[in-house]
Structure 1
Amino acid sequence: MDPCAEDRQSPSKRLEGKVALITGSARGIGGATAKLFAKNGAYVVIADILDELGSKLADSIGGRYIHCDVSKEEDVESAVEFALAWKGKLDIMFNNAGVSGPGGSISSLNMEDVRALLSINLFGIIHGIKHASRAMIAGKNGGSIICSSSSAAIMGGLASHAYTASKNAILGLAKTTACELGVYGIRVNCISPHGVASEMLLSAYRTCLGRDDLQAEDVTKIVGERGSLLRGRGGSMEDVAKAALFLASDESGFITAHNLVIDGGYTSACSHMSPIYTSKV
């Protein structure tokens, strides 16, 4: 029995009857988004390389799981075909899969490591847009394609060189594909999270701070204190999932080629001088 069947019957569900494919969704931001999409009436295909976690999550939300390495175009094509075979259409493609890749100085980067990162973070998204758009064009009912970028694409110094390059390229790709696909009613947008305590960010903080005991809640606290205009409020996976839900839904029907930044205002303004707003002149 589909545990989300009752939810899908509610007229208030924002994605009722829509079919969504989410890459990198066995856990983390992708997993949180898969759960939220299902609660809002979507039929969700989880595409990941973490077979056990992905299958378990798919079963829990009445979805389907398929093994998918986004660096391999044939895997992404198969995932799209899997969704079509299951429900006969594809309405939403969330290109979420990504890796942190190599760190260190630009003067000593191993280019094979860089190519490996780009094969997932950038080429994986190209694969996703390519095959999702084919399915959506054939379906003649428009669609929403969402791509995961990062606050690192907007502001320097937040991530490694290779990771930043890949995430910045995604912003340009979303704009050009939105130009082409808009005539078919297909919207292409990005979301750019900041400071969300995923496995990737937690690992980076542990390395940078030299604290193997650091937990996700510690990272969220640090971000809330130092990386957010909403002092004391860090970002969560659910914050990103809700942004993806908005871009996937008809509520954002006139929004395309847009980058929705989920950063508590961090990349837009500096709050170090905020006392000037409370001082008397």
Structure 2
Amino acid sequence: MSGRLQDKVVLITGAASGIGAQTARLFVAEGAAVVLSDINIDAGQQLARELDAAFIAADVSVEEQVERAVAYTVERHGRLDCMINNAGMIGVVGSILDTRTEDWNRTLGVLLDSVFFGVKHAGRQMRKQGGGGSILSLSSLAGVVGGVGPQVYSVAKAAVIALTRGAASELAQYGIRVNAVAPGLVVTPLVDQVYGDREKAVQGATVNSPLGSAAVPEEIAASLCYLASDEARHVSAHTVVVDSGVSAAGSSGSALFHNRPAGFLGKMPKQYQ
């Protein structure tokens, strides 16, 4: 590896699996000091041992726990150079006509409130350090175009893009860059749940890709690595869409979410269970 992130201190939420785990592996390989955070303690600690990295359990829908994760990172490494707001779930699925208000709020808590908390507390720390730094958040193709994701998930991911733009404008005075990555259908454990198993997920992602191939977490991690690196020092307020061209060519993915009974997909934080 080229050491593009040499000596940068990075906190990654939702780091125990999927895009978060592959991002952690790539960032460590590129020279970063990485702190992993997740509600899945066993998987998070196992990956931390694999990478010789630190781990802190955190429910990102609780502001105090995100603040604590930032503080832990600084206590361990002395600073924070990059915050990656990756944690999430699919949340409530089914018709908007059948979506309960409490399920709407629960989903937004994990997918949107968590990003606000991450931007807020990472931004405060970076300002305290004298400025500079990068805040990255995971949006989705579902937040870029309509009809390719569950209703509440799509709302949250669109809001992440708006928050990214607004925060980038405000925090530019401190030299802090704020960007987002919006993946299309990526073969992760969450997508496995949607399709039923990994083989069906790969087939579905391939069919929905105009390029005829399924995207994998490593490819999203590569986009995050670029945005976190000094190569992107003049890139801010942008959302990088990694969707194989679906946003231009169209997708048949909406039926996966809208034509099914209302319910949750993904592990909910304890206070919601």
1:201-240 matches, cutoff 5 A: 201-206=191-196, 214-215=197-198, 217-224=199-206, 226-231=207-212, 233-240=213-220
Instruction: Compute the displacement of 1:198 (Å).
Output: 1.2
Which of the residues 245, 249, 252 maps onto 2:225? 245
One-letter code aligned to 2:50: S
Is the contact made by 1:32 and 1:241 (CA closer than 8 Å) also made in structure 2? Answer: yes
Query: Secondary structure of the residue that 2:211 maps to in structure 1?
Result: coil
Q: Which one of the candidate residues 59, 62, 65 is aligned to 1:69?
A: 59
Which structure 2 residue ranges, 5 or more long, are not aligned?
Answer: 252-273
What is the aligned residue count? 252
In the alignment, is the contact (CA less than 8 A) between 1:43 and 1:62 conserved in 2? no
Report the equivalent of 2:113: 123
Q: CA separation in 2, counterparts of 1:101 and 1:246? A: 29
Give the C-alpha shift of residue 218 in structure 1. 3.5
Which structure's relative contact order is higher, taking Cα pairs within 8 Å and 6+ residues apart?
2
Query: Do residues 20 (structure 1) and 10 (structure 2) align?
Result: yes
Q: For 1:106 and 1:65, locate their aligned partners in 2 and report how far apart those are by CA, in whole Å.
A: 37
Select which of 213, 227, 238 maps to 1:258.
238
User: Is 2:128 the counterpart of 1:138?
Assistant: yes
Taking the TM superposition and a 5 Å limit, the aligned residue runs for 1:62-211 are 62-206=52-196
The ranges of structure 1 where at least 4 consecutive aligned residues each deviate by more than 6 angstroms after the TM superposition are none
Task: Measure the CA separation in 1 of the matches of 2:100 and 2:204.
Answer: 31
Superposed, 1:36-47 pairs within 5 Å as: 36-47=26-37
The one-letter amino acid paired with 1:252 is: A
After TM superposition, the score normalised by the length of structure 2 is 0.89
CA contact (8 A) 1:50 1:67 kept: yes
- Secondary structure of 2:246's counterpart equals coil
The answer as to whether partners of 2:104 and 2:152 remain within 8 angstroms in 1 is yes
Partners in 1 of 2:107 and 2:46 — Cα distance?
Answer: 27
Whichever of the two has the greater Rg, that structure is: 1
Query: Does the 8 Å CA contact 2:192/2:200 hold for their aligned counterparts?
Result: no
1:269 Cα deviation from its structure 2 partner: 3.1
Are the counterparts in 2 of residues 191 and 244 from structure 1 also a CA contact under 8 Å? yes
RMSD value, Cα: 1.5
Query: Equivalent residue of 2:181, what SS?
Result: strand
C-alpha separation in 2, matches of 1:81 and 1:179: 25
Q: Take 1:268 and 1:220, find their aligned partners in 2: how far apart are those partners?
A: 21
Equivalent position SS for 2:34: strand
Matched letter for residue 227 of structure 1: N
Q: Are the structure 2 counterparts of residues 70 and 242 from structure 1 closer, same or farther at C-alpha, using a change threshold of 3 Å?
A: same
Q: Which of 35, 53, 61 does residue 43 from structure 2 map onto? A: 53
The Cα shift of 1:223 comes to 2.0
Higher mean C-alpha displacement, 175-184 vs 133-142: 133-142
For residues 226 and 11 of structure 2, the distance between their equivalents in structure 1, rounded to whole angstroms, comes to: 16
Counterpart secondary structure, 1:102 = strand
> Taking structure 1 as reference, are residues 171 and 197 closer, same or farther at Cα in structure 2, changes over 3 Å only?
same
CA contact (8 A) 1:195 1:220 kept: no
After superposition, the C-alpha distances for 1:218-276 in whole angstroms (9 at most, x for unaligned) are: 3223322x322212x210000001011011111111100100111111112359xxxxx
Which amino acid counterpart does residue 219 of structure 1 have in structure 2? A
What percentage of residue pairs aligned between the two structures are identical? Answer: 40
Q: Helix, strand or coil for the counterpart of 1:235?
A: coil
TM-score, structure 1 normalization: 0.86
Whole-Å Cα distance in 1 between the matches of residues 222 and 26 of structure 2?
Answer: 8
Measured at CA, do residues 16 and 160 of structure 1 come closer, stay the same or move farther in structure 2, by a change above 3 Å? same
For the residues of structure 1 that align with 2:143 and 2:249, how far apart are their CA atoms?
A: 16
Q: Counterparts of 1:27 and 1:69 in 2: how far apart (Å)?
A: 15
Partner of 2:265: none
